[in-house]
Amino acid sequence: MRRRILVSLVGLTALAVIVFGIPLAYAAQRLYHDEEVQRIQREAAEAAQHVPDTFSAGGDPVELPSESGITYTLYDDTGRRVTGRGPGSADATVRAALRGDVADATASGALVASVPVSRQERVVGAVRAAAPSSVVTDQSRRAWLVMAALGVAAVGVSALIGLWQSRRLTRPIDRLAQSATQLGEGDFTVRTEAAGIPELDAVADALDTTATRLDTMLARERSFSADASHQLRTPLAALRMRLEMARLDPRIDRATLIDEALTEVERLQGTIDDLLALARDTHEDRTPLPVATVVEEVDQSWHGSLAADGRPLRTLVEPNAPTVRASPAAVRQVLDVLVDNAATHGAGTVMVRARAAGTGLAIEVSDEGPGVQGVDPEHVFRRRRKDDQRHGVGLALARSLTEAEGGRLILQRAAPAPVFAIVLPGTEDGAANS
């Protein structure tokens, strides 16, 4: 590309020099020719004024000028040479001068001009002046050399400009190509420097934006995979515990055990279905969230296990809860995380309440435990460390899922009796859920 830009610019400059230089060179030659002819005519006219009136009568000898590199010749009215070094008889220019005209011509490598000699309004002779045409040739050649030098200089300058411009264009393009290659190889931290060229900078900005989005998407996918495994770990652990208890204690009713195991399997299958639905969700054409149905499903999923620990589960959907658009699977997973957090770290009654929050919807999950004390409330949403396999994953996943739905997950009250709230924006119609 660099060579093509350089060749194109130099070629265009050379073509412009040729197209404009040839007519200009011809015009310069014609200019010098006309100026020399005019000079010869002036000198001949001055010489004619100094010719004595008695030259045709054989009076005193006539002295013609001998300066300025011009050869003069005087002719009488019959065309006979009186004095000078011109032709012995009148040529075409002299005959024209004897008719009263000023004439010029090029003959035998010389520029010739003839003017009439008039006395009392009568032509009595003619003065012929001749100068070598090499004067015009030399002037033209010098002008051509100057124009050629300027043309070469113009081509040279265009070559330098083309070299600079080609480097200026190709370097950012090379950097863009290198960045695209690194991006294709999985390096999403690559960034492109600004080139100062609006079009290339726009491409670089688009590439940087793409790299940022891909990096964010990949990080979310990795986090989602890790968090999804955490969500599956709880029902798997409960199923494993029941099966191990059945193996160790033969007195356990196997029919009851199978029913409980199937319940855990159904819960596990539901979690997998929800996660798959979230992975495939494109956030397009989303239907209004059936809040009452989702809260009822959470109640059915957690009522038995909390009751077995002697802890009640209460649910409430207020009549004025507004309509929101969100994925039921996402909201169900977030509520599962919050209820599981209350069951694991909280105490007393667990309350799930859906209410209006301005034009949006707030779904609160609370318990009667001591809550989060002595730490920043935002700390509970941070992802766990690699050496901590028990804390921080579920709430981090819940916040990520909520933000993907355009909402917020906040710790509304830290302690005592902590309250977590899912806040989702309302739809334009603001209709209440039924």
Could you report the per-residue pLDDT of 163-214, keeping only the tens digit for each?
Answer: 887 777 777 777 778 888 888 887 777 787 777 778 777 887 888 888 888 7
b vs e for 64-77, b when ≥16 Cβ sit within 10 Å of the residue's Cβ?
beeeeebbbbbbbe
H/E element holding 105? strand 103-107
Rounded CA-CA distance 81/84 in Å is 8
* Domains present along the chain, CATH in parentheses: 2-149 (3.30.450.20), 189-280 (1.10.287.130), 285-434 (3.30.565.10)
Rounded CA-CA distance 128/108 in Å is 15
Ranges of beta strands (E only) in 271-345 are: 313-317
**Is residue 286 scored above 80 in pLDDT?**
no
Q: Can you name the residues that pair with 313 across neighbouring β-strands?
A: 350
Beta-sheet pairing, 313-317 with 350-357: parallel
Q: Can you name the residues that pair with 238 across neighbouring β-strands?
A: none
Nearest one of 344, 357, 278, 347 to 312, comparing CA atoms: 347
Are the C-beta atoms of 313 and 415 separated by less than 8 Å? Answer: no
The sign one gets for the Cα dihedral 245, 246, 250, 255 is: positive
* pLDDT mean over 2-19: 83
Are the C-beta atoms of 102 and 110 separated by less than 8 Å? Answer: no
Nearest one of 284, 402, 404, 410 to 333, comparing CA atoms: 402
**Is residue 98 scored above 70 in pLDDT?**
yes
For residue 433, the model assigns a pLDDT of 43
Q: Is the peptide bond before 416 cis (omega within 30 degrees of 0)?
A: yes
| 115 confidence band (pLDDT: 50, 70, 90) | very high
**Is residue 89 scored above 70 in pLDDT?**
yes
Sheet containing strand 350-357, strands side by side: 313-317, 350-357, 360-366, 419-424, 408-413
Write the CA distances from 196 to 120, 192, 199, integer angstroms: 81, 12, 9
DSSP 76: E
Share of the chain above pLDDT 90, in %: 16
For residue 112, the model assigns a pLDDT of 92
For residue 352, the model assigns a pLDDT of 95
* 262 burial type by CB count under 10 A (0-12 exposed, 13-18 middle, 19+ buried): exposed
* pLDDT mean over 391-415: 81
**Is residue 368 scored above 80 in pLDDT?**
yes
